[in-house]
Amino acid sequence: MAGGNFVLPKARPSGPPFFSRNQISSALHQVAVLLELQGANVFRLRSYQNASRTLGGITEDLGELVATGKIFDIKGIGKGLGSAISQAVSEGRWPDDWIALHNNTPPGLIEMLGIPGLGPKRIKIMNEELGVESIATLRQAAEENTIAGLKGFGAKSQQKMLDGIELLARFRARRRLDVGLMYGEAFEQKIATIDGVIKAQLAGSARRRKETIGDLDIVVGVLDEDKENVSKAILALPGIADVKGAGDSKISLILDTSIFEGGFSLGHIDQTVMEAIGGDDYEQLESGGTIDAQVRLVTPEIFPFTLAYFTGSKEHNIVMRQRAIDRGLRLSEFGLIPEAEAGDLKGMAAAHLSLPAIDESEIYRHLELSWVPPELREDTGEIAAASSEALPRLIVPADVKGVLHNHTTLSDGDATLEQMADAARNIGWNWLGVADHSQSLKVANGASPEDLLAQGQQIKQYNAAWAEEGIDFRLFHGSESDILEDGRLDYTDEVLAELDYVVASVHAMTKWKNRDEVTNTEDLMRAIDHPATKVLGHPTGRILQGRDGYEIDMFAIIEHMAEHNAEGRLKAVELNASPYRLDLDWRLCKYAKTNNVPVVINPDAHSVRGLGDFAYGVMAARKGWLESGDTLNSLSLDEMSARLL
């Protein structure tokens, strides 16, 4: 609920039952919260709370409970609540007093309920004592330090509210790519199955694989005569929290987590990341989260133009439109129209005059360009490359033969060495690098030298067994060595010499963030210079939607690594594939590529499922113009073994 819309759930278009058990439970919860906000009798609001909890826990079919009248037999659901629930389920109408409760509560107070960790009781007190009536006035009061003085509040809870406000704002503004894609792909698939839909495709920043997404844009191909029905069917899909506007060719709506039939889960989040993005508060926001989506319905002839337009970016579109103008053409979401013929006709009215295009590549061809992969459409040189057949052949997931930075139960991972190896083989990889945390990183259960060396022995045994069985798979033994403050690594040289490689990464973020760019850059270079270091892990330490990285001159770092590589010493820069990091930033990939510094896409997996994050790394690598040959991931087992010698 927190962070999501505090509105009564919408009835299904057909029923009964018009509401699911979860929807009823959620409505009861909302009523209880609003009653508390209004200072209602404790026993009254508790009966709603209890009923909400009870319904949330039962397994029987709600429609049947209502139809048979058994709903009244459930403990804690008396006559009044039983009738209210029955009416909602069988008629699709919420009781008038529930609706009135929502309407009578000031929107500013409802808005404050979205702040993680802040409940109705304290909102009410702040409202009465200090006149706090919205998030804005709450922030002001907190910044003026007036909340700390309230009885039962204090400086700590005041700070927590400020943090919560910031977290909520960040969360509402943009969402990480993985979350955006989860919603976007679920919605796209649901639309695609609607009768009359010829094609449904995600466009916008999600299609361009930006690291964060503002809203989702979906283009739907449909014949004119089907538009009305398709539009209605889209509005009836599960997962829609609210509709902001709906016509036959454009629908704006808000999706919520009920779009995920199998439930919503983020999987294992490692502790550092978890803390940076707001911990439990973040998880609560995400599970009650929503995302905006805009749907455009167009005929199949127009579809490629609309898809191209709404894929963007805006900057790419502007260059494309200028290129069209230079050729006497007018490019829009409706077509590519000869200027001479268009006259005063605009928009849809001119669509019939468009040059034909059965897909996007024909639009590009009309403008003497090769098709530009969506990831590259950021106006960073892709048009020039597309006009001279110089576009890169971007890496694809199947090019990946292995990854180098993963954790096991030896440090803070969920899975054993054996489980991780099995999972990697199942993906189809030929090698897997294990790099558990080093001894100083106590919070991540960093490995002692003895345990690390024992892991090495175990790996040798596995490798020998696979060799014997003729299996084309090996483990490489590494360590994710913490970079200490002066740039030293975290084990003695004797221990490091036993390893296949070191991924050197900074973890003492607070310290590094309090230092200047020159000091950080120099110390990072010192860590890179150590002969054992082959990979620079998550180079800036940023957590998307969580915290900025430390100050660092990445250009200087890449140039420094380039010198090593030029002299035959492998120094690869990691593209940490965790969707929470995507660090190296895609904007810097090209710089690594032109300096001949290999990039290694690493999932930084802390579980078997985490290995799958490599796919987000491939997306970011593609966005950064990387080809398979620019990465270590595409090396065969023999090639990789040779590079680590």
214 interacts with ligand DGT by CB under 6 A: yes
What one-character-per-residue DSSP string does 186-222 give? Answer: HHHHHHHTSTTEEEEEE-HHHHTT-SEESSEEEEEEE
φ, ψ (nearest 5 deg) of residue 574: -75, 140
Which is closer to Ca ion, CB of 283 or CB of 360? 360
Which is closer to ligand DGT, CB of 190 or CB of 377? 377
Rule CB under 5 A: choose which of 382, 604, 613, 630 binds Zn ion. 604
What one-character-per-residue DSSP string does 334-367 give? Answer: TEEEEHHHHTT--GGGGGGGSPP-SSHHHHHHHT
Pairing type for strands 197-202 and 216-222 reads antiparallel
Subset of 201-220 contacting Ca ion (CB under 5 A): 204-205, 214-215, 217
Rule CB under 6 A: choose which of 32, 123, 179, 213 binds ligand DGT. 213
Number of amino acids touching Zn ion (CB under 5 A): 2
Q: Which stretch binds Zn ion (CB under 5 A): 175-183, 243-251, 473-481, 484-492?
A: 473-481
313 interacts with ligand DGT by CB under 6 A: yes
From Ca ion, ligand DGT, Zn ion, none, which one binds at residue 313 (CB under 5 to 8 Å depending on kind)? ligand DGT
312 interacts with ligand DGT by CB under 6 A: yes
Subset of 315-354 contacting Zn ion (CB under 5 A): none
What is the C-alpha to C-alpha distance for residues 310 and 221, in angstroms, rounded to an integer?
14
Quote the Cα angle for 34-38-41, to 5°.
95
Rule CB under 6 A: choose which of 136, 318, 396, 443 binds ligand DGT. 318
Find the shortest distance in angstroms from Cβ 309 to Ca ion.
Answer: 11
Which long-range CB contacts under 8 A does 139-146 form with residues at least 24 apart?
139/165
Amino acid (1-letter code) at residue 340: A
Which token pair is 447? Answer: 């490995």
221 interacts with ligand DGT by CB under 6 A: no
Q: Which stretch binds ligand DGT (CB under 6 A): 48-56, 204-212, 229-237, 511-519?
A: 204-212
Cα–Cα nearest to 591, from 570, 562, 629? 562
317 interacts with ligand DGT by CB under 6 A: yes
For 123-142, letters b (16+ CB in 10 Å) and e give: bbbbbeebebbbbebbbebb
Rule CB under 6 A: choose which of 178, 188, 211, 217 binds ligand DGT. 217
Which is closer to ligand DGT, CB of 207 or CB of 366? 207
Rule CB under 6 A: choose which of 121, 250, 314, 460 binds ligand DGT. 314
574 interacts with Zn ion by CB under 5 A: no
250 interacts with ligand DGT by CB under 6 A: no
Amino acid (1-letter code) at residue 95: P
Rule CB under 5 A: choose which of 188, 281, 378, 480 binds Zn ion. 480
290 interacts with ligand DGT by CB under 6 A: no
204 interacts with ligand DGT by CB under 6 A: yes
From Ca ion, Zn ion, ligand DGT, none, which one binds at residue 314 (CB under 5 to 8 Å depending on kind)? ligand DGT
What is the C-alpha to C-alpha distance for residues 611 and 282, in angstroms, rounded to an integer?
23
Cα–Cα nearest to 296, from 397, 227, 239, 362? 227
From ligand DGT, Zn ion, Ca ion, none, which one binds at residue 312 (CB under 5 to 8 Å depending on kind)? ligand DGT
Residues β-bridged to residue 406: 605
Amino acid (1-letter code) at residue 28: L
Which is closer to ligand DGT, CB of 101 or CB of 177? 177
Find the shortest distance in angstroms from Cβ 310 to ligand DGT.
Answer: 5
Angle between helices 154-173 and 279-287 (to 10 degrees): 40
Q: Which stretch binds ligand DGT (CB under 6 A): 148-156, 253-261, 313-321, 555-563?
A: 313-321
Quick count: other Cβ atoms within 10 Å of Cβ 65?
23
What is the C-alpha to C-alpha distance for residues 489 and 529, in angstroms, rounded to an integer?
10
254 interacts with ligand DGT by CB under 6 A: no
Q: Give the binding site for Zn ion (CB under 5 A).
A: 480, 604
* Binding stretches for ligand DGT (CB under 6 A): 204-205, 210, 213-215, 217, 309-310, 312-314, 317-318
